[in-house]
Structure 1
Amino acid sequence: MKSPGRMREIFTKAWRNPTGKFGFLTLGVLVLAALFAPLIAPHDPTAQVLTAADRAPAWLGGEGGYLFGTDSLGRDVFSRILYGLRLSLVIGIVAATISAALGLVLGIVAGWYERFAGKILMRMADVQFAVPFVAVGIALTAVIGPGITPLLIILSVWGWTTYARTIANSVSQIKRQDFVTAARTLGASTPRLMLRHVAPSVLAPVVVLWSTSAGVLILAESGLSLLGLGVQAPVFSLGSMLADSQIALRLSWWSVLFPGLALLLIVLAFNMIGDALRDAFNPSSALVPRNPELV
């Protein structure tokens, strides 16, 4: 079982990695900007000033002093990005956490009972991998409707498969290790073996996959919002900002570019953190390119 001291050592190594340091700093700045949005934002993000519609950023000669310009309804793009960061980060982090917990439980069950439950769960995962995410998102949205809660459900349910497949393979090997056999000999029950001995041994891939899947799920939310299936007005995220601005791309390209850059920074930060954590858990992986799903 990994102690708090061991986890502290892992995160210290990840911080010392230049890639990890950039990821942590970038993510930290974005999180702080989202938390302190009411203090930083110069304008009301929902206020529509039609007389100031499609104004260019101030540094490109635009009037009104708008840092990132305004959209087609005269709303300040910079202020909307700060507030949109909040919802995008919350959706990505919450969905990644739920899918990690779900994938951890199902992966342990699939790896422990690999002959029956494992085969069923892995076949379910194979089917889910074979179906495009957009098709699943459209189908589920048609059934449960659009909104933040349905969106979290869709993303959380979709994300469990990567965890389960990775964890199941590890558990099938760990359960045959001597320390598990010794605990079983001493009378440890199956739930105790899973919770106290197996689960801590597979935390490394869970942590790495969580850090990378958070960015992927934020991107997935943006994709659904871009199709009109995600966040609904008056609530908005970075993805819904892109959806609102695509019709005015020729008039105000800045209203698409800057939310897109914010999304890029979020995904890049999470991926860099995931790479640094992977290298910290397994230093030899830094020497050989690997798929994060196989860590």
Structure 2
Amino acid sequence: MNNDHNQPPAEAGKAHMPSVVTEGDPWGSVPTVAGIEPQNAGEAIPRKAPGRLREILRKAWGNPSGRVGFVLLGLLVLAAVFAPLIAPHDPVVQTLAATNEAPVWLGGESGYLLGADSLGRDVLSRVLHGLRLSLLVGIVAATVSALLGLTLGILAGWYEDTLGKVLMRLADIQFAVPFVAVGIALTAALGPGLGPVLVILSVWGWTTYARTIANSVAQVKRADFVTAARTLGAGTGRIMVKHVAPSVLAPVVVLWSTSAGVLILAESGLSLLGLGVQAPGFSLGSMLSDGQVALRLSWWAVLFPGTALLLIVLAFNMIGDALRDAFNPSSSLAPKNPELV
């Protein structure tokens, strides 16, 4: 006699149903029938997609302009960092017997590779050490102005009808005033030196960031994800930091890479006027100021610092162009399908 007739209907049904286990899935979301393997059990688990930052850097490096810019800037940074080790002479020691000495490949007898300036100082050693201060000023000033511009730009875009109008009017006024006039006035009030130069350049550079970011924030704050965050009870500060700021980082990175070179040129302009770095410190700009005294006798004391400045600005601009293309969704380095063109 079959025992199934004596079992309750529910238990009889369970006896003929295969058992379901959820091994490897703590939430039980992918049930597995005992004795039966899933179809994709033998397939390899797909790799996690690369992060956004890694993808942007990959695209920027894949751009020929970006690759040249990164390599050039890397070489300049290495030369600046290891300047005390690779500089052949002390950059501040004066050898009056070698005043205006030509480079060794132009017949110079003192063995200076790039010649000597009007005080007998080795131009190559001064260029290597001057790179350190010029890069420091550009990177620090660009970073501070980017943070300041990002903060003020988010506030201007979020409170566009109140605080935003005031900040944008201040930006318009600053754009209307020449930088040289402001630099001279602030230097007269603060005094010349590295510290005042950093303050002037950092404060002056915020306007470009703020104007660009304010327009983006005014659009982002009306997006659905911001509305959802408000609905869930997130405060204004948390929304700005967690949701709005990451949405506008792309233009900030691009502007930073281009403004660093511009601020280095601005520091050189102030130093050329005698308002920048003071002796015994020196930068590439102050080397240009010193070299113009005896330009006809030692043109190499101006040519090589100027060339170093050119390479720095060129490297930052090339990196900025590559990053701009990398952040642009419409530009991709991947080959196109000819059937879809």
TM-score of the aligned structures, taking structure 1 as reference length: 0.95
The reply on whether 1:247 has 2:293 as its aligned counterpart is yes
* Partner in structure 2 of residue 289 of structure 1: none
- Indicate the residue corresponding to 2:220 in structure 1: 174
For the pair 1:31 / 2:53, whether they are aligned, the reply is no
Within 2, Cα distance between the matches of 1:166 and 1:285?
21
Q: After superposing the two structures, state which structure 1 stretch, 277-286 or 17-26, moved more.
A: 277-286
For the residues of structure 2 that align with 1:102 and 1:96, how far apart are their CA atoms? 10
| Kept after mapping to 2: 8 A contact 1:278/1:285 | no
Q: 1:222 to 1:4 in 2, by over 3 A?
A: farther
Could you say which structure has the higher helix fraction? 1
| SS of the residue 1:154 aligns to | helix
Higher relative contact order (CA 8 A, sep 6+): 1
* Residue 186 (structure 2) aligned to one of 118, 140, 150: 140
Q: Could you tell me which residue of structure 2 aligns to residue 290 of structure 1?
A: none
- Matched to 1:73, the amino acid is L
2:243 aligned with 1:207: no
Q: Letter of the 2:302 partner, please give it.
A: V
1:160 to 192, 203, 206: 206
| Runs of at least 5 residues in structure 1 that lack an aligned partner in the other structure | 287-295
Is residue 11 from structure 1 mapped to residue 57 from structure 2 by the alignment? Answer: yes
Matches within 5 A, 1:184-203: 184-203=230-249
Q: What CA distance in whole angstroms lies between the structure 2 residues aligned with 1:283 and 1:174? A: 17
Write the distance in 1 (CA, Å) between the matches of 2:135 and 2:68: 18
Aligned AA (1:119): K
Q: What secondary structure is seen at the aligned counterpart in 2 of 1:284? A: coil
How far apart, in 1, do the equivalents of 2:330 and 2:262 lie? 25
Identical amino acids, percent of aligned pairs: 79
1:110 aligned partner: 156
Candidates 139, 143, 149, aligned match of 1:93: 139
2:197 maps to amino acid: L
What root-mean-square deviation, in Å, do the aligned CA atoms of Structure 1 and Structure 2 show? 1.4
Residue 179 of structure 2 is aligned to residue 129 of structure 1: no
Q: Quick check: which has more Rg, 1 or 2?
A: 2
What's the TM-score once normalised by structure 2's chain length? Answer: 0.82
Aligned length: 285
Tell whether 2:116 aligns with 1:70.
yes
Aligned mate of 1:237, from 283, 292, 295:
283
Seen in structure 2, the aligned counterparts of structure 1 residues 4 and 175 have a Cα distance that, compared at 3 Å, is: farther
**CA, structure 1 residues 285+167, in 2 after alignment: closer, same or farther (shift >3 Å)?**
farther
Rounded to whole Å, the distance in 1 between the matches of 2:74 and 2:99 is: 32
Deviations 1:33-55 (A, max 9, x none): 00111111000000000110101
- Mean Cα deviation higher: 57-66 or 117-126: 57-66
Using the TM superposition, give the Cα deviation of residue 4 of structure 1 relative to its aligned residue in structure 2, in angstroms: 8.4
Which ranges of 4 or more aligned residues in structure 1 deviate by more than 4 Å? none
| One of 222, 225, 240 as aligned partner of 2:271 | 225
After superposition, give the CA deviation of every residue in 1:186-216 in whole Å (9 maximum; x if it has no partner): 1110000100000000000000000000000
Answer yes or no: is the 8 Å Cα contact 1:222–1:239 preserved in 2. yes
Distance 1:56 1:284 in 2: 52
Aligned to 1:291: none
Q: Could you say which residue in structure 1 is the equivalent of 2:336? A: none
Report what 2:316 is aligned to: 270
Deviation at 1:227, TM superposition (A): 0.2
Distance of 2:162 and 2:304 partners within structure 1: 50
Deviation at 1:283?
4.7
* Shift in Å, 1:284: 3.3
Q: Is the 8 A contact 1:137 1:224 kept in 2?
A: yes
